[in-house]
Amino acid sequence: MNILLLGYGKMGQLIDQLATEAGHQIVGKISIDNRVELDKLDTSLVDVAIDFSQPEAAVDNIKWCIDHEIPVAVGTTGWLERREEVNSYCNEKSGTYLYASNFSIGVNLFFKLNKQLAILMNNQKQYSVKTKEIHHTQKLDAPSGTSITIAEGIIKELDNKTSWVNQEASLPNELEIISERVDPAPGTHEVSYSSTVDTIEIKHTAHSREGFAKGAIAVAQWLKDQKGVKSMEDFLQFD
């Protein structure tokens, strides 16, 4: 598989290492410092792109890939206010892209577990719910894209929650997300339901970035043979 890397920070470099070790070819490494190299790239050599760039570059990168008929797996967060625009662009141009707030297989299983727990807790009004995430201090966005996905899963299933806030909740309909930035911390996400008599908690802790990178490579390999706007649920074949 020939991979174009859009963004060459810590994640891009790790994907480069792991993909090369697995026998794949990296045909381009684009960062903010050399984006002009895209104009010189022979796109016929590219099977798929993986984007771990910056929020301000993500939309342009996705549209560039769509325009050049290159499927792109996007792990960049912080641009989702334009997601509907990008979805429409992809569909209009018959392109292919997949956005995931987190490519870790374990995290995506956690997303599914989170939704199922919220369904079970919807009629248990004696419990209050809150969420927490811990990341390294270089993490640019707060809350993380993963935390937002977790919050959206809860809000979808709990009748008494309609929005999330990145602080302690002050209104009954608000879902609390507490964000902490501590080094070193690849990523920890917690959801807790508390009553006067007990607490139910689910938690995912990443031990390194390797799970994210390996997941992105696996998704990219699958995505190169797909069409349209895809999701991790499509990749994992969740019902």
**Same domain for 83 and 19:** yes
Q: Could you report the per-residue pLDDT of 22-51, keeping only the tens digit for each? A: 999 999 999 988 988 998 999 999 999 999
> 3-state secondary structure string, 43-106?
HHHCCEEEECCCHHHHHHHHHHHHHCCCCEEECCCCCHHHHHHHHHHHHHCCCEEEECCCCCHH
120 shares its domain with 48: no
The reply to whether 162 and 75 lie within a common domain is no
Give the sheet arrangement for strand 48-51, strand by strand.
25-30, 2-6, 48-51, 72-74, 96-99, 228-230
Both tokens of residue 184?
């070193």
Regarding beta strands 199-205 and 188-194, do their DSSP bridges make them parallel or antiparallel, or are they unpaired?
A: antiparallel
For residue 128, the domain's CATH number is 3.30.360.10
Q: Which domain holds residue 198?
A: 105-205
Q: Is residue 185 domain-shared with residue 219, that is, in the same domain? A: no
Which amino acid belongs to residue 91? N
Task: Tell me, yes or no, whether 132 and 179 share the same domain.
Answer: yes
Question: Which amino acid is located at 106 in the chain?
Answer: G
CATH number reported for the structural domain that contains residue 230 in this entry? 3.40.50.720
Which candidate, 126, 149, 123, places its Cα nearest to that of 204? 149
pLDDT tens digits, 137-169: 877 778 988 999 999 999 999 999 999 999 999
- Mean pLDDT in residue range 51-78: 96
Residue 101: name the closest of 10, 33, 189, 225 by CA: 189
Number of structural domains in the chain: 2
- Residue-wise pLDDT for 97-137, tens only, equals 999 989 999 999 999 999 999 999 999 999 999 999 999 88
pTM across the whole model: 0.84
Is there a single domain that holds both residue 98 and residue 216? Answer: yes
Q: Which amino acid is at 180?
A: E
User: Annotated active-site positions, please?
Assistant: 135, 139
No. of helices (H) and no. of strands (E), the chain: 7, 11
Cα 108 to the chain's mean position, in Å? 9
- Between CA 61 and CA 81 the distance in angstroms is 16
Query: Same domain for 163 and 181?
Result: yes
Distance CA 113, CA 238 (A): 12
DSSP per residue over 112-150, as a string? HHHHHHHHHHTT-TT-EEEEEEEE-TT--SSS-HHHHHH
Q: State whether 111 and 191 are in the same domain.
A: yes
b/e code 32-71 from CB counts within 10 Å (16+ = b): eeeeeebeebebeebbbbbbbbbbebbbebbbbbbebebb
> What's the chain's average pLDDT?
95
Looking at the structure, do residues 123 and 196 belong to the same domain, yes or no?
Answer: yes
Q: Is the pLDDT of residue 239 over 70?
A: no
